[in-house]
Structure 1
């Protein structure tokens, strides 16, 4: 089969002009992360790219359908439907469509001052499982928003908007569980169920045993998985929820500090103030008097 880098029926391609790249690289917002090239190749039979010295930008390829492969660091990897990979800038590589079932791909070259934050994603294959909450259409729509805005005009508003949507698009790939959360049923998730229980018990004093019992876990096992997921112990998380609630009362009510302490289940005002100050680095009375907004 004839090898080619582009030239596919119904393809969509934008290569950002050098003058616009200079704007993207200097603007305070866009210079953090921006696209230099972007496109969609449907049923890209013969698609083949080889760069012995790599690219000046990171390359993201998302396989919407069909199959293909890529090679980095001497390792060849097959890519199929709903899989993607990102080749880091400067990495020698080859990628190509399958001869028998050529891929349809969204692709983009991107760079920016903050691109290194995504290092964990680079030079490996990622799979997006097909489930009821996958949100493939939402991700595809974000790609279209980036493309259409860049296609319409290179004014600074479009460039900035495209850059901001790019963050969201890559975030939807880097943090798949969080991207799916909008369609997630919290009642089936142990951690979310525990947090919901904490919120409904915000006026009580809960122990680790009580929280773990609510989700039918042993305290030790529950404490481990909760800390791994949230970065906090269950009790510390519960105290933070109480302080969040306290801030709302201080901001939007005329309740006295003593009354807020009682409503949130603290032993006394002193205990509440001590906990509040430890978390917020400011006392409740100072917080209440501080200018907001």
Structure 2
């Protein structure tokens, strides 16, 4: 029988105590030790953003060893790959893989086609934004599933959340449930009842909740990257920056907003680092 997508923090069922520390952050408090000396393995899709970093940290807190998987897909904000590497190091992941998948070859998204401007007018309910990348999550989750089966991982950790699924069809609970059914049918491990479970611990959370949880966990927020602009510093104008900044201010961490980062680099809010930045 196909298992359902896990959306609660208790979803990883096997737990193991093994403390870890993040530079400049306190260690995560883990669940009590089990009798097993071998923590279960999880694959975390790691974009370099706040959401995926928080999801990976939750998997670690729940007792998993974690392998990070990131994608160089021709995104204009390739800076996020540097952030993914920094997060993988800070969280002391078992491994971190970066796979090249050139989705920019056919464009169709503001994130892969420089001719399409990045939206900055706010999220519109029921409207799929131009930052949707055709088929991206389906490709990424399929590759994550391949790695999970090859390594015997029990979970595939995703950072999708309520902010995402309000606009993106491949971040919604019904999509995740359908992909779980596919995973159970399409893999040897799934057919044998040993397949990886998709775990989306943030799926019902808004950005403010994610920020609060990231702070509780000691996630290195300053090392993460959410901006879509393709600049060297967060632009503060794109929808992704604005949503993140509002959540940080609400959490009392205005020092981590894009405006604060730019001020530290002596750049005024809204100024572009590169000529032609169209965010």
Q: Which has the higher contact order (CA 8 A, sep 6+)?
A: 2
TM-score interval, smaller chain:
under 0.3
Which has a greater percent of strand? 1
Which has a greater percent of helix? 1
